[in-house]
Amino acid sequence: MARNYAVIVGINDYDEISPLKYAKSDAERMRDFFMQDLGVSPDDLYFFTDDSPRNVQGRKTQPTYGTLKSFLGDRFENSFLSAGDTLWFYFSGHGMPCEGRDYLLPSDGNPRTMPALGIAISDVTERLRRSGADNVVMLIDACRSDGAKNAGMGIGEEKQQGVITFFSCSPSQVSYEIDEIGQGAFTNVLLEALRIQGEGNCATVERFANYLKARVPLLTKRYKNYVQSPYVKIEPETKLHYILLPKFANLSDIALLRENALEAENEGDYDLAFQLWLRVNVAAGGTDIKAIKAFQRLANKQSASSPQPRDAVSSSGSKTPSSPQVSPPAVPKEFQREVIGRKTPPVSPVPEVKKNSVELVSAKGIDYRELEKLLKAKEWRKADELTAKHMLKVANRESQGYLDEASINAFPCEDLRTIDQLWVHYSSSKFGFSIQKKLWLECGGEIGKYDYEVWKKFAAKVGWYHPQKDDWRTYTEFMNDTKNAQNALPSSLPTLVRKNVYSGEFVVWGWEWGACVFSSLTSRLVKCNP
């Protein structure tokens, strides 16, 4: 059974740097989450704070330079975890760059004498990778501040090989502590994301990252009038669809991971394919038939691609030994077995889609015939309003009256594809979410990344935003100029119209809400591949 293992560091009291208020308590909250929610045993969790007690070996656990360096050197000298396990590393405190490298500052760290008494993040990742876990996740809430630019701005530039890293802020920013909530903004949202269950969960790396990027800026904007943007580095990028929280994963998450595993296998990247199939099996509770068969198939493919060496015969007739061959990686014993008495369910044929029509598929039983009728008749406003109603019903957000990032991240691919294809087909590729995504990329946006300045640039191009007035258009104002496809700007529909809870006026995407939801939508579009 796959295990979770955690190393947690939280530092309030620094010898040479201004102290922090909530780093220690945030670390304690993370410790409680790992033990209570993820079931990490006390033997598999190492905890370092200002006043933490000695560990079971009787060693001090205060987060000084000597203590942390000794722990990382001793505990991670040899492998003790297995493929399929996840190793979590959480740090809450100060960090800073020096001479092109990123450093975490222990309690006795001194910025004036760097790099002495600083712990290089690359050194930490090098030790963590020795653990044997195939999934190493770093959660770095560093560069912390209550408002003043404190010691440590700028970490996150350095690439960490083989590790998924979530930084609390971008390299040019600080990470805020917020008195009103008694926490650091990043860790507050981090714990939210880790605890979400159901369709809107953050079980995968992609959804986890998108949630942090959308929610943290809103929190700091509210309390500090400052947009703090978490910074995510995934290495290698193939880990984007990794499942971090198997017990919360949806069937679609596992299905997508299977697709990635098969793609890697077909491309001949057997090591990557093995890792992905292993994560599939972990998420499925260790009983995924397709994964189990894939392990044996990979072993056969690797053996076939690495034939036994034969002696070559030279022109003189003598035999020349060939170069030694490298044996393929061994398949774990628990997967070296036949699946007896169980049949793989037949693959359902893909329905044929007629060239001049769109298949009206819904995972939630939505009847899209009226929407198709309106789009065919070029009734753009009615079609736009009906699109919003359908999407709210699909997401079970009718009472709220608007979509949020979590509901977009969990939006069924069947329905998203149907809605998008209807708009694209009946507008001759002028409208549709996938058309909007292309323009977003052309404006400099990134898939799944919140960027309010790019958002305004994009919105100006589609007519939702007045750059001269620095204001957003009302829905009525926008629709008065959108009576037919010839007048409407490309990519301007659908708008996901919603009612302003304060004025009662219907509005288009607009403001931070639109930027957050649309950035999540771009990511969902990539996943659903409409």
Q: With contact defined as beta carbons under 8 Å apart, do 519 and 449 qualify?
A: yes
- Kindly give, in sequence order, each residue whose CB lies less than 8 Å from that of residue 472, ignoring residues fewer than 6 positions away: 459, 464, 465, 466, 507, 508, 510, 511
> Do 101 and 190 sit in the same domain of this protein?
yes
Does residue 303 sit in helix, strand or coil? helix
Give domain status of residue 324, yes or no: no
Average the pLDDT over 395-404 and give the result: 84
Average the pLDDT over 473-497 and give the result: 73
> Do 423 and 287 sit in the same domain of this protein?
no
pLDDT at 316: 42
Quick one: what percent of the chain has pLDDT higher than 70? 80
DSSP labels, 462-496: HTSEETTTTEEPBHHHHHHT-SSTTTSPTT-----
Average the pLDDT over 294-303 and give the result: 76
> Do 154 and 266 sit in the same domain of this protein?
no
> Do 54 and 71 sit in the same domain of this protein?
yes
> Do 217 and 284 sit in the same domain of this protein?
no
- Kindly give, in sequence order, each residue whose CB lies less than 8 Å from that of residue 222, ignoring residues fewer than 6 positions away: none
Pairwise CA distance, residues 232 & 210, whole Å: 9
For residues 347 and 265, the model is more confident at 265
> Do 294 and 420 sit in the same domain of this protein?
no
Q: With contact defined as beta carbons under 8 Å apart, do 83 and 335 qualify?
A: no
DSSP lists the bridge partners of residue 329 as: none
> Do 231 and 85 sit in the same domain of this protein?
yes
- Read off the CATH number of the domain in which 176 is found: 3.40.50.1460
pLDDT at 319: 44
> Do 477 and 376 sit in the same domain of this protein?
yes
The owner of tokens 């894939």 is: 294
Give domain status of residue 375, yes or no: yes
Average the pLDDT over 303-324 and give the result: 47
> Do 140 and 263 sit in the same domain of this protein?
no
Query: For the whole prediction, is pTM greater than 0.95?
Result: no
pLDDT in tens, 91-113: 999 998 888 888 999 999 988 88
| SS3 of 40-91 | CCHHHEEEEECCCCCCCCCCCCCCCHHHHHHHHHHHCCCCCCCCCCEEEEEE
- Which band of pLDDT confidence, cut at 50, 70 and 90, is reported for residue 174? confident
pLDDT in tens, 235-283: 777 777 788 888 777 777 777 778 878 887 887 777 777 877 877 777 7
State residue 449 phi and psi, 5-degree precision. Answer: -105, 125
* Amino acid in the structure at residue 389: K
Average the pLDDT over 338-359 and give the result: 42
**Does residue 490 have a cis peptide bond before it, meaning omega lies within 30 degrees of 0?**
no
pLDDT in tens, 463-472: 888 888 877 7
Number of structural domains (the chain) is 3
pLDDT at 189: 94
Does residue 311 sit in helix, strand or coil? coil
For residues 417 and 270, the model is more confident at 417
pLDDT at 98: 85
Domain that residue 119 falls in: 4-247
Q: With contact defined as beta carbons under 8 Å apart, do 3 and 44 qualify?
A: yes
Give the chain's mean pLDDT: 80
pLDDT in tens, 494-513: 987 665 555 555 566 656 66
> Do 257 and 382 sit in the same domain of this protein?
no
Least confident of 288-292, 352-356, 364-368: 352-356
Least confident of 19-23, 166-170, 197-201: 197-201
Give domain status of residue 311, yes or no: no
Domain boundary among 247, 274, 289: 247
Beta strands per DSSP E along 317-438: 319-320
Percent helix, strand and coil across the chain, each to the nearest 5: 40, 15, 45
> Do 282 and 415 sit in the same domain of this protein?
no
pLDDT at 88: 96
